Amino acid sequence: MSFRTLAAKFLETVKDDLGIPARLRKVIADTPGIRMRVDDTAAVIASSSVVRWHEWPHGQGSEKRGEVRGWRTSGGHYQSEHRHIPALARLGKTETSAGFNCDIGDVTGLSASKSELYRFFSMQQMAEQACQPFIRDVSQEGLAQNLRWPEIGIVRGSSDFLLQYSWDDGLCLANSGGSHHFVAARHIAGQLQQPVALQGRLVRHGLDAEAAAQLNDQYAIYAIAKDAFFAEALDALRDFRATHYWADLPQPYDNGLAIFLPRDEARSRKVAEVFASEGFTNVGDVVVELASQGAAAERRPRQDEMRLRIEALPELEAKAGVAHLFGKHAAARLRNELATQVDWQAVEQATMDEAFGVHRLDAQSVYDALARHSPGATSGHALNTLRATVDGYARLHERKLAKQATPDAPTPD
The secondary structure of 277-318 as a DSSP string is HTT--BHHHHHHHHTSTTHHHHHHHHHHHHHHHHHHHHHHTT
pLDDT (0 to 100) of residue 118: 98
Cβ 97 vs Cβ 201: under 8 Å: yes
pLDDT digits (tens, 9 = 90+) for 242-299: 999 999 999 899 899 999 999 999 999 999 999 999 999 999 999 999 999 999 999 9
As a whole number of angstroms, the distance between CA 394 and CA 397 comes to: 5
Alpha helices in 155-282 (DSSP H): 179-192, 209-218, 226-228, 234-240, 266-277
Q: CA end-to-end span of the chain, whole Å?
A: 12
| Residue 223 CB contacts under 8 Å (≥ 6 apart), including other chains | 35, 36, 37, 38, 249, 253, 256, 257, 258, 259, 280, 281, 283
Mean pLDDT computed over 336-365: 97
As a whole number of angstroms, the distance between CA 102 and CA 154 comes to: 11
pLDDT digits (tens, 9 = 90+) for 291-322: 999 999 999 999 999 999 999 999 999 999 99
pLDDT digits (tens, 9 = 90+) for 100-156: 999 999 999 999 999 999 999 999 999 999 999 999 999 999 999 999 999 999 998
Using DSSP's 3-state secondary structure scheme, residue 172 falls into strand
As a whole number of angstroms, the distance between CA 223 and CA 253 comes to: 9
pLDDT digits (tens, 9 = 90+) for 167-200: 999 999 999 999 999 999 999 999 999 999 999 9
Q: Could you state, in order of their start, the residue ranges of all structural domains in the chain?
A: 92-207, 293-405
H/E stretch holding 148 reads none
Mean pLDDT of the chain: 93
The pTM assigned to this predicted structure is 0.91
